[in-house]
């Protein structure tokens, strides 16, 4: 679903601005920054839309704004054509007094039509902008003002400066913006009824070197990450048990039916709420592996479907505090480090993948043992990408 929306978004951009030239980061002659301004979104939101880490709502609203821009251009062309036709009729209208009234009426009608079209577009654009401004609070990273200002702005960046990067190698190469590589989903035990699920939709992550915590991995071996995660809670209205359709008790693995399941494409699944979570992660970088430990800083729910909550007796507070809270007990294996030479890290290509096992104290599905899943982080924007001296030995 996300891939289709990403492709549709890029097609809309090319229709409006011209072909995407990846070497110059432009669509036609338009820069990414100017397009983001046209769409009333931030540069970070545009990056998410372009590289497939945005939400379905962000894609829908942005494509709607592109359609409005295209429509406005067409209206402008029609207005100019009408003005040219009026100018062509003016000499004849002056010679023939009997047509003067008709011409004035036509001109007045054209003026009011143009005014209405402009009002309609500006009102629609204002409404879209207001919607996006609201989403700015819920979608943008909470620490955006501290990490993402222009380099020449009057602020103290949390990233290393150029004189420090070699002292804190290899973690200097990992500093920057990361995103969730792919959505993942899990069942949520601990409810009165079966069929409640969690899906992680996107993550906006800022990683920076730690200058103080160097005990285990040594200087330059520890990253601190601030992770803003968008999740969703879904319910299967048919109350289908997890096993055997979606989980094999013998192998302790999810079935192919669950792996390929898309909640949005099956009407029996209904979204209960959107969950916003904030984590502080600690990554330790070794030559052959990378470890990760996460600590939550809170979560809250929006877009709550109270009818579903009441019908299926869902205790959202319990889900937020206890069920999702037990994700803290998730056991993730160290990731193989494919970037022993940190100079191999590449924007929009490099991924850190962790295989995890989720267990919960209030397990009531009769499964036991926990549920496996994988969580990956993809490098979106690297703070420092010049040559680093701590090559792999």
The residue among 335 and 117 whose pLDDT is bigger is 335
User: Residue 69: what pLDDT?
Assistant: 87
Helix axes 56-95, 2-17, angle to 10 degrees: 20
Query: What is the rounded average pLDDT of the residues 311-316?
Result: 86
CA distance 14 to 20: 7
Average pLDDT, the chain: 80
pLDDT of residue 95: 55
pLDDT at 94 over 80: no
- Name, in order, each residue with C-beta under 8 angstroms of 324's C-beta and a sequence gap of 6 or more: 188, 198, 231, 275, 277, 299
Mean per-residue pLDDT for 374-381?
94
332 contacts: CB under 8 Å, gap ≥ 6 = 292, 354, 355, 356, 357, 375
Give which of 287, 317, 285 is closest to 304, Cα–Cα.
Answer: 317
User: Residue 308 and residue 327: Cα distance in Å, rounded?
Assistant: 24
Confidence check: pLDDT of 389 > 80: yes
Higher pLDDT, 281 or 329: 281
Q: What is the pLDDT at residue 72?
A: 80
Q: Give the residue among 9, 15, 27 at the shortest CA–CA distance from 63.
A: 9
For residue 137, what pLDDT band results from cuts at 50, 70 and 90?
very low
Look-up: residue for tokens 């494509």? 63
Tell me the range of 60-64, 113-117, 121-125, 270-274 where mean pLDDT is highest. 270-274
CA 171 to chain centre: 24
Both structure tokens of 367 = 């499964």
Rounded to an integer, what distance in angstroms lies between the CA atom of residue 310 and that of residue 305?
A: 9
Average pLDDT over residues 96-118: 49
Gyration radius of the chain's alpha carbons: 27
Mean per-residue pLDDT, 76-89 = 75
Average pLDDT on 160-168 reads: 89
**Is residue 124's pLDDT more than 70?**
no
pLDDT at 150 over 60: yes
Quick one: pLDDT band at residue 361, thresholds 50, 70, 90? low
Task: Answer whether residue 194 shows pLDDT above 70.
Answer: yes
Confidence of residue 115 (pLDDT cuts 50, 70, 90): very low
The mean per-residue pLDDT over the stretch 375-389 comes to 91
Rounded alpha-carbon distances, angstroms, from residue 377 to 155, 281, 354, 374: 27, 12, 9, 10
More confident residue, 258 or 119: 258
Kindly report, residue by residue over 31-67, the tens digit of the pLDDT.
Answer: 887 888 788 777 777 878 888 878 887 888 888 888 8
Structure tokens given for 197: 């699920």
Q: State the Cα–Cα distance between residues 232 and 316, nearest whole angstrom.
A: 12
Share of the chain above pLDDT 90, in %: 29
* Range name among 51-60, 304-313, 377-386 with the lowest pLDDT average: 51-60
Mean pLDDT, residues 126-150 taken together: 59
The pLDDT of residue 188 is: 84
Q: Which residue has the tokens 């994700």?
A: 327
Q: Is the confidence at residue 232, as pLDDT, over 50? A: yes
Note the pLDDT tens digit of each residue in 346-359. Answer: 999 999 999 988 87
Categorize the per-residue pLDDT at 270 as very low, low, confident or very high, splitting at 50, 70 and 90. very high
State the pTM of this model: 0.64
């Amino acid at each position: 679903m996300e891939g289709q929306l990403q492709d549709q978004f890029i097609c809309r951009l090319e229709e409006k601005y011209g072909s995407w030239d990846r070497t110059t980061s432009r669509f036609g002659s338009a820069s990414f920054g100017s397009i983001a301004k046209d769409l009333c979104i931030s540069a970070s939101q545009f990056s998410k839309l372009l590289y497939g880490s945005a939400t379905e709502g962000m894609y829908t609203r942005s494509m709607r704004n592109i359609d409005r821009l295209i429509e406005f251009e067409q209206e402008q062309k029609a207005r100019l054509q009408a003005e040219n036709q009026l100018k062509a009729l003016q000499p004849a209208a002056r010679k023939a007094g009997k047509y003067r009234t008709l011409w004035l009426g036509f001109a007045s009608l054209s003026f009011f039509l143009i005014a209405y079209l402009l009002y309609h577009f500006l009102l629609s654009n204002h409404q879209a902008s207001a919607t996006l401004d609201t989403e700015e609070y819920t979608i943008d990273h909470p620490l955006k003002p501290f990490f993402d200002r222009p380099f020449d702005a009057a602020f103290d960046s949390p990233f290393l400066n150029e004189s420090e990067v070699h002292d804190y190698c290899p973690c200097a190469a990992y500093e920057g913006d990361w995103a969730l590589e792919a959505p993942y989903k899990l069942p949520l035990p601990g409810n009165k009824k079966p069929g409640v699920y969690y899906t992680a939709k996107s993550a906006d992550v800022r990683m920076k070197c730690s200058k103080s915590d160097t005990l285990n991995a040594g200087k330059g071996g520890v990253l601190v990450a601030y992770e803003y995660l968008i999740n969703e809670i879904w319910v299967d209205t048919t109350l289908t048990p997890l096993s055997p359709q979606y989980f094999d008790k013998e192998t302790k693995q999810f079935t192919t039916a669950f792996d390929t399941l898309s909640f949005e494409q099956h009407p029996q699944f209904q979204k209960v709420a959107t969950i916003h979570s904030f984590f502080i992660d600690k990554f330790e970088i070794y030559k052959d592996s990378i470890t990760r430990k996460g600590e939550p800083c809170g979560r809250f729910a929006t877009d709550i479907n109270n009818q579903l909550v009441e019908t299926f007796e869902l205790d959202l507070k319990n889900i937020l505090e206890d069920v999702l809270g037990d994700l803290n007990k998730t056991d993730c294996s160290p990731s193989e480090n494919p970037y022993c030479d940190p100079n191999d890290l590449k924007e929009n290509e490099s991924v850190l993948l962790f295989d995890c096992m989720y267990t919960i104290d209030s397990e009531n599905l009769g499964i036991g043992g926990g549920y496996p899943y994988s969580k990956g982080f993809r490098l979106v924007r690297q703070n420092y990408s010049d040559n680093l001296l701590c090559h792999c030995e």
